[in-house]
Amino acid sequence: MAEQFKEQGGAATMDPSAAFRWLSSQIMTQVVSPQRKAKKRAKVEKQRRAAGARHVVEYFHQVDDGYSHLAAQALESLSQRYDIDLHCHLVTGPSGNNSVEPDLLLKLARYDASFIAPHYGLDFPKTDGLPDSVAIVKAGSILAGKSNGSFAGLAASVSSALWSGDIAALDILAEQHGCGSEEQYQACLEQGNARRAELKHYSGAMFYYGGEWYWGIDRQHYLEARLAELGVDNSPEKPMLMPRFAVEPGKHTDNGSLTLEIYPSLRSPYTAMVFDQTLALAEQTGVNLVVRPVLPMVMRGVPATREKGLYIFSDAAREAHSAGVPFGNFYDPIGNPARNCYSLYPWACEQGRGNQLISSFLRCAFAEGINTNNARGLKKVVEKAGLDWSVAKTLVGQSGWEDILESNRLAMYDAGLWGVPSFRLLNKQGESVLALWGQDRLWLVAREIERLLASQTAS
Protein backbone atom coordinates (compact mmCIF):
# COMPACT_ATOMS: atom_id res chain seq x y z
CA MET A 1 0.00 0.00 0.00
CA ALA A 2 2.67 2.51 1.00
CA GLU A 3 4.70 1.67 -2.11
CA GLN A 4 1.64 1.87 -4.32
CA PHE A 5 0.84 5.40 -3.11
CA LYS A 6 4.43 6.65 -2.72
CA GLU A 7 4.40 10.45 -2.79
CA GLN A 8 5.72 12.13 -5.90
CA GLY A 9 7.86 15.19 -5.35
CA GLY A 10 7.77 17.33 -8.48
CA ALA A 11 7.44 16.77 -12.17
CA ALA A 12 11.17 16.10 -12.52
CA THR A 13 11.05 13.08 -10.18
CA MET A 14 7.88 11.51 -11.51
CA ASP A 15 7.65 8.29 -13.44
CA PRO A 16 6.43 8.78 -17.04
CA SER A 17 2.76 8.09 -16.33
CA ALA A 18 2.72 10.41 -13.31
CA ALA A 19 4.54 13.08 -15.32
CA PHE A 20 1.92 12.82 -18.08
CA ARG A 21 -0.85 13.05 -15.50
CA TRP A 22 0.69 16.14 -13.92
CA LEU A 23 1.39 17.86 -17.25
CA SER A 24 -2.05 17.17 -18.75
CA SER A 25 -3.62 18.45 -15.54
CA GLN A 26 -1.70 21.71 -15.72
CA ILE A 27 -2.54 22.22 -19.38
CA MET A 28 -6.25 21.46 -19.05
CA THR A 29 -6.66 23.63 -15.96
CA GLN A 30 -5.13 26.53 -17.87
CA VAL A 31 -7.16 25.84 -21.02
CA VAL A 32 -10.48 26.26 -19.22
CA SER A 33 -9.47 29.23 -17.08
CA PRO A 34 -12.16 31.94 -17.38
CA GLN A 35 -9.44 34.58 -17.27
CA ARG A 36 -7.60 32.98 -20.18
CA LYS A 37 -10.82 32.73 -22.16
CA ALA A 38 -11.63 36.41 -21.58
CA LYS A 39 -8.13 37.46 -22.67
CA LYS A 40 -8.33 35.38 -25.84
CA ARG A 41 -11.69 36.86 -26.75
CA ALA A 42 -10.46 40.40 -26.13
CA LYS A 43 -7.41 39.75 -28.33
CA VAL A 44 -9.56 38.34 -31.15
CA GLU A 45 -11.84 41.36 -31.14
CA LYS A 46 -8.94 43.80 -30.98
CA GLN A 47 -7.37 42.17 -34.03
CA ARG A 48 -10.69 42.13 -35.88
CA ARG A 49 -11.28 45.83 -35.26
CA ALA A 50 -7.73 46.69 -36.26
CA ALA A 51 -8.23 44.87 -39.55
CA GLY A 52 -11.60 46.49 -40.13
CA ALA A 53 -13.11 43.04 -40.54
CA ARG A 54 -16.70 42.01 -40.00
CA HIS A 55 -17.86 39.31 -37.60
CA VAL A 56 -17.38 36.06 -39.50
CA VAL A 57 -19.04 32.83 -38.33
CA GLU A 58 -18.02 29.65 -40.13
CA TYR A 59 -20.27 26.61 -40.38
CA PHE A 60 -19.16 23.07 -41.28
CA HIS A 61 -21.92 20.94 -42.80
CA GLN A 62 -21.77 17.14 -42.91
CA VAL A 63 -24.44 16.04 -45.38
CA ASP A 64 -25.05 12.57 -43.89
CA ASP A 65 -25.18 13.75 -40.26
CA GLY A 66 -28.49 14.13 -38.42
CA TYR A 67 -27.16 16.96 -36.29
CA SER A 68 -26.13 18.85 -39.42
CA HIS A 69 -29.71 18.51 -40.67
CA LEU A 70 -30.91 20.38 -37.59
CA ALA A 71 -28.17 23.00 -37.86
CA ALA A 72 -29.00 23.57 -41.52
CA GLN A 73 -32.49 24.67 -40.50
CA ALA A 74 -30.99 27.36 -38.25
CA LEU A 75 -28.61 28.95 -40.78
CA GLU A 76 -30.93 31.51 -42.37
CA SER A 77 -32.41 32.69 -39.08
CA LEU A 78 -28.93 32.97 -37.55
CA SER A 79 -27.59 35.07 -40.42
CA GLN A 80 -30.68 37.31 -40.38
CA ARG A 81 -30.83 37.79 -36.61
CA TYR A 82 -27.15 38.71 -36.18
CA ASP A 83 -25.04 41.15 -38.18
CA ILE A 84 -22.53 38.53 -39.29
CA ASP A 85 -21.02 37.05 -42.40
CA LEU A 86 -21.80 33.33 -42.44
CA HIS A 87 -19.28 31.22 -44.35
CA CYS A 88 -20.39 27.65 -45.04
CA HIS A 89 -18.21 24.61 -45.74
CA LEU A 90 -18.92 21.00 -46.68
CA VAL A 91 -17.03 18.38 -44.65
CA THR A 92 -16.89 14.67 -44.01
CA GLY A 93 -17.42 13.11 -40.59
CA PRO A 94 -14.66 12.44 -38.03
CA SER A 95 -11.87 10.17 -39.23
CA GLY A 96 -8.83 8.35 -37.86
CA ASN A 97 -8.38 8.56 -34.11
CA ASN A 98 -11.11 11.20 -33.93
CA SER A 99 -13.64 8.61 -35.05
CA VAL A 100 -15.06 6.13 -32.55
CA GLU A 101 -17.80 3.73 -33.72
CA PRO A 102 -18.66 5.83 -36.83
CA ASP A 103 -21.55 3.59 -37.89
CA LEU A 104 -23.12 3.76 -34.45
CA LEU A 105 -22.57 7.51 -34.35
CA LEU A 106 -24.53 8.13 -37.56
CA LYS A 107 -27.41 5.96 -36.33
CA LEU A 108 -27.44 7.62 -32.92
CA ALA A 109 -27.29 11.08 -34.48
CA ARG A 110 -30.37 10.29 -36.53
CA TYR A 111 -32.23 8.86 -33.52
CA ASP A 112 -31.18 11.64 -31.17
CA ALA A 113 -31.83 14.46 -33.63
CA SER A 114 -35.36 13.22 -34.25
CA PHE A 115 -36.03 13.38 -30.49
CA ILE A 116 -34.71 16.86 -29.89
CA ALA A 117 -35.97 18.54 -33.08
CA PRO A 118 -39.54 19.34 -31.85
CA HIS A 119 -38.21 20.99 -28.69
CA TYR A 120 -36.34 23.52 -30.84
CA GLY A 121 -39.21 24.01 -33.27
CA LEU A 122 -37.36 22.10 -35.99
CA ASP A 123 -38.31 19.15 -38.17
CA PHE A 124 -36.84 15.72 -38.63
CA PRO A 125 -38.47 13.37 -41.16
CA LYS A 126 -40.36 10.45 -39.66
CA THR A 127 -38.45 7.82 -41.61
CA ASP A 128 -36.20 5.01 -40.46
CA GLY A 129 -32.67 4.33 -41.55
CA LEU A 130 -29.96 6.48 -43.06
CA PRO A 131 -29.76 8.09 -46.51
CA ASP A 132 -28.13 5.95 -49.19
CA SER A 133 -24.77 6.89 -50.68
CA VAL A 134 -26.20 7.96 -54.06
CA ALA A 135 -28.62 10.40 -52.45
CA ILE A 136 -25.86 11.74 -50.19
CA VAL A 137 -23.66 12.53 -53.18
CA LYS A 138 -26.59 14.15 -54.98
CA ALA A 139 -27.39 16.36 -51.98
CA GLY A 140 -23.74 17.31 -51.53
CA SER A 141 -23.36 18.07 -55.22
CA ILE A 142 -26.31 20.48 -55.11
CA LEU A 143 -24.67 22.39 -52.26
CA ALA A 144 -21.14 22.22 -53.69
CA GLY A 145 -19.84 25.54 -54.87
CA LYS A 146 -22.82 27.55 -53.70
CA SER A 147 -22.13 31.02 -52.35
CA ASN A 148 -22.47 31.46 -48.62
CA GLY A 149 -25.82 33.24 -48.90
CA SER A 150 -27.38 30.70 -51.23
CA PHE A 151 -25.93 27.80 -49.20
CA ALA A 152 -27.65 29.04 -46.02
CA GLY A 153 -30.96 29.38 -47.85
CA LEU A 154 -30.74 26.07 -49.67
CA ALA A 155 -29.17 23.71 -47.12
CA ALA A 156 -32.36 23.09 -45.15
CA SER A 157 -34.41 22.17 -48.25
CA VAL A 158 -31.72 19.87 -49.61
CA SER A 159 -31.23 18.22 -46.24
CA SER A 160 -34.96 17.75 -45.74
CA ALA A 161 -35.31 16.03 -49.11
CA LEU A 162 -32.30 13.83 -48.35
CA TRP A 163 -33.50 12.69 -44.93
CA SER A 164 -37.04 12.16 -46.22
CA GLY A 165 -35.68 9.87 -48.92
CA ASP A 166 -37.36 12.09 -51.51
CA ILE A 167 -35.16 11.67 -54.58
CA ALA A 168 -37.70 13.47 -56.75
CA ALA A 169 -37.44 16.54 -54.52
CA LEU A 170 -33.62 16.40 -54.80
CA ASP A 171 -33.93 16.26 -58.59
CA ILE A 172 -36.17 19.33 -58.58
CA LEU A 173 -33.76 21.22 -56.34
CA ALA A 174 -30.87 20.24 -58.61
CA GLU A 175 -32.76 21.52 -61.65
CA GLN A 176 -33.74 24.77 -59.94
CA HIS A 177 -30.42 25.61 -58.31
CA GLY A 178 -27.86 23.69 -60.31
CA CYS A 179 -25.87 20.63 -59.37
CA GLY A 180 -22.12 20.20 -59.47
CA SER A 181 -20.35 17.02 -60.47
CA GLU A 182 -19.30 14.39 -57.97
CA GLU A 183 -15.72 15.58 -58.52
CA GLN A 184 -16.73 19.12 -57.58
CA TYR A 185 -18.44 17.81 -54.46
CA GLN A 186 -15.31 15.88 -53.46
CA ALA A 187 -13.18 18.96 -54.05
CA CYS A 188 -15.47 21.00 -51.78
CA LEU A 189 -15.20 18.31 -49.10
CA GLU A 190 -11.41 18.43 -49.29
CA GLN A 191 -11.44 22.22 -48.98
CA GLY A 192 -13.84 22.12 -46.05
CA ASN A 193 -11.87 19.41 -44.28
CA ALA A 194 -8.66 21.39 -44.78
CA ARG A 195 -10.20 24.53 -43.33
CA ARG A 196 -11.59 22.61 -40.37
CA ALA A 197 -8.20 21.00 -39.72
CA GLU A 198 -6.53 24.41 -39.94
CA LEU A 199 -8.88 25.59 -37.19
CA LYS A 200 -8.13 22.41 -35.21
CA HIS A 201 -11.40 20.50 -35.24
CA TYR A 202 -12.67 17.20 -36.59
CA SER A 203 -16.47 17.01 -36.59
CA GLY A 204 -19.49 18.15 -38.59
CA ALA A 205 -22.42 20.38 -37.58
CA MET A 206 -19.92 22.82 -36.06
CA PHE A 207 -19.96 26.61 -35.85
CA TYR A 208 -16.72 28.56 -35.36
CA TYR A 209 -16.20 32.13 -34.28
CA GLY A 210 -13.11 33.87 -32.98
CA GLY A 211 -11.14 30.88 -31.74
CA GLU A 212 -14.06 28.94 -30.24
CA TRP A 213 -16.21 26.05 -31.48
CA TYR A 214 -19.95 25.57 -31.02
CA TRP A 215 -21.55 22.19 -31.77
CA GLY A 216 -24.81 22.47 -33.69
CA ILE A 217 -28.01 23.79 -32.23
CA ASP A 218 -27.06 22.37 -28.81
CA ARG A 219 -24.29 24.96 -28.42
CA GLN A 220 -25.72 27.72 -30.59
CA HIS A 221 -26.95 29.58 -27.51
CA TYR A 222 -23.32 30.14 -26.47
CA LEU A 223 -22.57 31.62 -29.90
CA GLU A 224 -25.69 33.76 -29.77
CA ALA A 225 -24.80 35.05 -26.31
CA ARG A 226 -21.31 35.95 -27.48
CA LEU A 227 -22.59 37.76 -30.56
CA ALA A 228 -25.13 39.62 -28.43
CA GLU A 229 -22.35 40.78 -26.08
CA LEU A 230 -20.54 42.14 -29.14
CA GLY A 231 -23.58 44.23 -30.04
CA VAL A 232 -24.50 42.49 -33.30
CA ASP A 233 -27.91 41.16 -32.26
CA ASN A 234 -30.45 42.85 -34.53
CA SER A 235 -33.32 41.97 -32.17
CA PRO A 236 -31.92 41.96 -28.62
CA GLU A 237 -35.41 42.20 -27.14
CA LYS A 238 -36.31 38.77 -28.54
CA PRO A 239 -35.43 35.38 -26.98
CA MET A 240 -32.55 33.37 -28.40
CA LEU A 241 -33.18 31.40 -31.55
CA MET A 242 -31.85 28.19 -29.99
CA PRO A 243 -32.08 28.44 -26.18
CA ARG A 244 -30.39 26.39 -23.53
CA PHE A 245 -32.77 23.93 -21.86
CA ALA A 246 -32.49 23.52 -18.10
CA VAL A 247 -32.80 20.15 -16.36
CA GLU A 248 -36.20 20.54 -14.73
CA PRO A 249 -38.23 17.85 -12.97
CA GLY A 250 -41.94 17.98 -13.73
CA LYS A 251 -44.88 18.18 -11.37
CA HIS A 252 -45.46 14.42 -11.29
CA THR A 253 -43.60 12.05 -8.98
CA ASP A 254 -42.92 8.40 -9.74
CA ASN A 255 -43.41 5.50 -7.37
CA GLY A 256 -40.53 3.55 -8.88
CA SER A 257 -42.29 2.44 -12.05
CA LEU A 258 -39.52 3.98 -14.19
CA THR A 259 -35.83 3.17 -14.05
CA LEU A 260 -33.12 5.58 -15.09
CA GLU A 261 -29.72 4.09 -15.89
CA ILE A 262 -26.62 6.24 -16.13
CA TYR A 263 -23.32 4.96 -17.52
CA PRO A 264 -20.53 7.14 -16.06
CA SER A 265 -16.75 6.89 -16.11
CA LEU A 266 -14.24 8.33 -13.69
CA ARG A 267 -12.18 10.17 -16.30
CA SER A 268 -15.03 11.78 -18.21
CA PRO A 269 -15.32 15.57 -17.83
CA TYR A 270 -18.91 15.42 -19.07
CA THR A 271 -19.70 12.80 -16.42
CA ALA A 272 -18.09 15.00 -13.79
CA MET A 273 -20.35 17.94 -14.56
CA VAL A 274 -23.64 15.99 -14.77
CA PHE A 275 -23.36 13.12 -12.30
CA ASP A 276 -24.68 14.98 -9.27
CA GLN A 277 -27.43 16.53 -11.40
CA THR A 278 -28.51 13.03 -12.38
CA LEU A 279 -28.65 11.92 -8.75
CA ALA A 280 -30.74 14.98 -7.92
CA LEU A 281 -33.12 14.41 -10.84
CA ALA A 282 -33.75 10.81 -9.77
CA GLU A 283 -34.45 11.91 -6.22
CA GLN A 284 -36.75 14.73 -7.31
CA THR A 285 -38.78 12.60 -9.72
CA GLY A 286 -38.85 9.39 -7.70
CA VAL A 287 -37.55 7.18 -10.50
CA ASN A 288 -35.39 4.20 -9.66
CA LEU A 289 -31.76 5.13 -10.39
CA VAL A 290 -29.23 2.50 -11.47
CA VAL A 291 -25.61 3.62 -11.80
CA ARG A 292 -23.54 1.45 -14.16
CA PRO A 293 -19.93 2.68 -14.28
CA VAL A 294 -17.69 1.77 -17.21
CA LEU A 295 -13.97 1.97 -17.85
CA PRO A 296 -12.85 5.22 -19.53
CA MET A 297 -12.40 4.93 -23.30
CA VAL A 298 -8.68 5.71 -23.18
CA MET A 299 -8.19 2.94 -20.62
CA ARG A 300 -10.06 0.59 -22.97
CA GLY A 301 -7.50 1.29 -25.68
CA VAL A 302 -9.61 3.78 -27.61
CA PRO A 303 -7.25 6.52 -28.87
CA ALA A 304 -7.98 10.22 -28.54
CA THR A 305 -6.28 13.04 -30.39
CA ARG A 306 -5.05 16.22 -28.74
CA GLU A 307 -7.54 18.37 -30.66
CA LYS A 308 -10.43 16.17 -29.56
CA GLY A 309 -9.31 16.14 -25.95
CA LEU A 310 -8.91 19.92 -25.84
CA TYR A 311 -12.33 20.51 -27.36
CA ILE A 312 -14.10 18.04 -25.08
CA PHE A 313 -12.53 19.46 -21.93
CA SER A 314 -13.17 23.07 -22.98
CA ASP A 315 -16.76 22.28 -23.92
CA ALA A 316 -17.38 20.41 -20.68
CA ALA A 317 -16.04 23.36 -18.71
CA ARG A 318 -18.32 25.72 -20.61
CA GLU A 319 -21.29 23.45 -19.91
CA ALA A 320 -20.38 23.18 -16.23
CA HIS A 321 -19.99 26.93 -15.77
CA SER A 322 -23.31 27.54 -17.52
CA ALA A 323 -25.02 25.04 -15.21
CA GLY A 324 -23.34 26.46 -12.10
CA VAL A 325 -21.39 23.24 -11.47
CA PRO A 326 -17.89 23.55 -9.93
CA PHE A 327 -15.33 22.48 -12.53
CA GLY A 328 -11.91 23.20 -13.94
CA ASN A 329 -9.35 22.70 -11.17
CA PHE A 330 -8.23 19.42 -12.70
CA TYR A 331 -5.88 16.62 -11.68
CA ASP A 332 -6.01 13.88 -14.29
CA PRO A 333 -7.23 10.56 -12.80
CA ILE A 334 -6.23 8.44 -15.79
CA GLY A 335 -4.82 4.98 -15.06
CA ASN A 336 -4.16 3.91 -11.49
CA PRO A 337 -6.27 6.59 -9.75
CA ALA A 338 -9.38 5.47 -11.63
CA ARG A 339 -8.56 1.78 -11.16
CA ASN A 340 -8.03 2.24 -7.41
CA CYS A 341 -11.38 3.97 -7.04
CA TYR A 342 -13.14 1.34 -9.13
CA SER A 343 -11.61 -1.34 -6.91
CA LEU A 344 -13.37 0.26 -3.94
CA TYR A 345 -16.69 0.60 -5.72
CA PRO A 346 -18.19 -2.86 -4.89
CA TRP A 347 -17.38 -2.32 -1.21
CA ALA A 348 -18.80 1.20 -1.29
CA CYS A 349 -22.01 -0.17 -2.79
CA GLU A 350 -22.23 -2.70 0.03
CA GLN A 351 -22.07 0.25 2.43
CA GLY A 352 -24.80 2.03 0.48
CA ARG A 353 -22.29 4.72 -0.61
CA GLY A 354 -21.42 3.73 -4.19
CA ASN A 355 -22.93 6.85 -5.73
CA GLN A 356 -21.24 9.02 -3.14
CA LEU A 357 -17.85 7.45 -3.93
CA ILE A 358 -18.19 8.22 -7.66
CA SER A 359 -19.45 11.73 -6.91
CA SER A 360 -16.60 12.42 -4.49
CA PHE A 361 -13.94 11.12 -6.88
CA LEU A 362 -15.22 13.20 -9.79
CA ARG A 363 -15.43 16.32 -7.66
CA CYS A 364 -11.92 15.87 -6.30
CA ALA A 365 -10.41 15.18 -9.73
CA PHE A 366 -12.29 17.76 -11.81
CA ALA A 367 -13.17 20.58 -9.41
CA GLU A 368 -10.77 20.48 -6.47
CA GLY A 369 -7.49 19.57 -8.17
CA ILE A 370 -6.72 16.71 -5.79
CA ASN A 371 -4.08 14.20 -6.84
CA THR A 372 -5.91 10.90 -6.41
CA ASN A 373 -2.78 8.92 -7.27
CA ASN A 374 -1.52 8.86 -3.69
CA ALA A 375 -2.87 7.79 -0.33
CA ARG A 376 -3.54 11.32 0.85
CA GLY A 377 -5.66 12.11 -2.19
CA LEU A 378 -7.61 8.86 -2.22
CA LYS A 379 -8.23 9.21 1.49
CA LYS A 380 -9.91 12.56 0.83
CA VAL A 381 -12.10 10.94 -1.83
CA VAL A 382 -13.13 8.12 0.50
CA GLU A 383 -13.83 10.31 3.51
CA LYS A 384 -15.73 12.91 1.47
CA ALA A 385 -17.94 10.00 0.37
CA GLY A 386 -18.71 9.21 4.01
CA LEU A 387 -16.66 6.00 4.04
CA ASP A 388 -14.06 4.65 6.46
CA TRP A 389 -10.51 5.10 5.16
CA SER A 390 -9.09 2.62 7.67
CA VAL A 391 -11.12 -0.08 5.92
CA ALA A 392 -10.82 1.29 2.41
CA LYS A 393 -7.03 1.36 2.39
CA THR A 394 -6.95 -2.40 2.96
CA LEU A 395 -9.19 -2.97 -0.07
CA VAL A 396 -7.47 -0.78 -2.66
CA GLY A 397 -6.43 -2.88 -5.63
CA GLN A 398 -8.77 -5.79 -4.96
CA SER A 399 -10.16 -7.53 -8.04
CA GLY A 400 -13.75 -8.28 -9.02
CA TRP A 401 -14.72 -4.83 -10.22
CA GLU A 402 -13.43 -5.48 -13.74
CA ASP A 403 -16.25 -7.89 -14.59
CA ILE A 404 -18.86 -5.45 -13.30
CA LEU A 405 -17.57 -2.64 -15.50
CA GLU A 406 -17.27 -4.87 -18.55
CA SER A 407 -20.84 -6.11 -18.10
CA ASN A 408 -21.97 -2.48 -17.96
CA ARG A 409 -20.03 -1.65 -21.11
CA LEU A 410 -21.66 -4.49 -23.01
CA ALA A 411 -25.11 -3.39 -21.85
CA MET A 412 -24.33 0.15 -23.01
CA TYR A 413 -23.30 -1.10 -26.45
CA ASP A 414 -26.42 -3.27 -26.66
CA ALA A 415 -28.43 -0.08 -26.24
CA GLY A 416 -26.63 1.46 -29.23
CA LEU A 417 -24.47 3.67 -27.01
CA TRP A 418 -20.73 3.70 -26.40
CA GLY A 419 -19.71 7.06 -24.94
CA VAL A 420 -20.18 8.48 -21.46
CA PRO A 421 -22.22 9.61 -19.81
CA SER A 422 -25.08 7.72 -21.43
CA PHE A 423 -28.64 7.42 -20.18
CA ARG A 424 -31.29 4.76 -20.61
CA LEU A 425 -34.86 5.12 -19.39
CA LEU A 426 -36.80 1.90 -18.79
CA ASN A 427 -40.52 1.43 -18.23
CA LYS A 428 -42.16 -0.77 -15.61
CA GLN A 429 -41.69 -3.84 -17.82
CA GLY A 430 -37.97 -3.16 -18.10
CA GLU A 431 -38.26 -2.07 -21.73
CA SER A 432 -36.08 0.74 -23.00
CA VAL A 433 -38.10 3.82 -23.92
CA LEU A 434 -35.16 6.19 -24.35
CA ALA A 435 -31.42 5.69 -24.83
CA LEU A 436 -29.27 8.78 -25.26
CA TRP A 437 -25.63 9.78 -25.07
CA GLY A 438 -24.30 12.93 -23.47
CA GLN A 439 -24.67 15.16 -20.46
CA ASP A 440 -26.55 17.59 -22.67
CA ARG A 441 -29.44 15.15 -22.91
CA LEU A 442 -30.37 15.11 -19.22
CA TRP A 443 -32.93 17.87 -19.87
CA LEU A 444 -34.58 15.58 -22.43
CA VAL A 445 -34.52 12.67 -19.98
CA ALA A 446 -36.28 14.89 -17.44
CA ARG A 447 -38.95 15.87 -19.96
CA GLU A 448 -39.51 12.27 -21.01
CA ILE A 449 -39.89 11.20 -17.38
CA GLU A 450 -42.55 13.87 -16.90
CA ARG A 451 -44.31 12.91 -20.13
CA LEU A 452 -44.48 9.26 -19.15
CA LEU A 453 -45.67 10.01 -15.61
CA ALA A 454 -48.31 12.41 -16.89
CA SER A 455 -49.59 9.79 -19.35
CA GLN A 456 -49.81 7.24 -16.51
CA THR A 457 -51.85 9.69 -14.46
CA ALA A 458 -54.13 10.46 -17.38
CA SER A 459 -54.82 6.78 -18.01
Alpha carbons within 13 angstroms on the beta-carbon side of residue 119 total 18
Question: Which residues neighbour 9 within 8 Å (Cβ) at sequence distance 6 or greater?
Answer: none
Q: Where are the domains of the chain?
A: 35-229, 259-458
CATH 3.40.50.300 for domain 35-229: no
Task: Check residue 266 and give its pLDDT.
Answer: 97
> pLDDT tens-digit profile of 379-437?
999 999 999 999 999 999 999 999 999 999 999 999 999 999 999 999 999 999 999 99
Whether residue 257 contacts residue 425, with contact meaning beta carbons closer than 8 Å, is answered with no
Instruction: Return the amino acid letter for 416.
Output: G
Phi-psi region of 339 (alpha: psi -120 to 50; beta: other; left: phi over 0): alpha
Task: Check residue 15 and give its pLDDT.
Answer: 58
CA 426 to chain centre: 22
* Mean pLDDT of all residues belonging to the chain: 93
Question: Which residues neighbour 439 within 8 Å (Cβ) at sequence distance 6 or greater?
Answer: 270, 271, 273, 274, 316, 319, 421
Task: Check residue 3 and give its pLDDT.
Answer: 44
Task: Check residue 10 and give its pLDDT.
Answer: 39
Task: Look up the pTM and report it.
Answer: 0.94
Which residue stretches of the chain have pLDDT < 50? 1-13
The values of phi and psi at residue 435, to 5°, are -140, 110
Say which CATH superfamily domain 259-458 falls into: Glutaredoxin (3.40.30.10)
- Whole-Å CA distances, 220 to 157, 237, 244, 379, 407: 20, 18, 9, 41, 36
Instruction: Evaluate whether 35-229 and 259-458 have a shared fold.
Output: yes
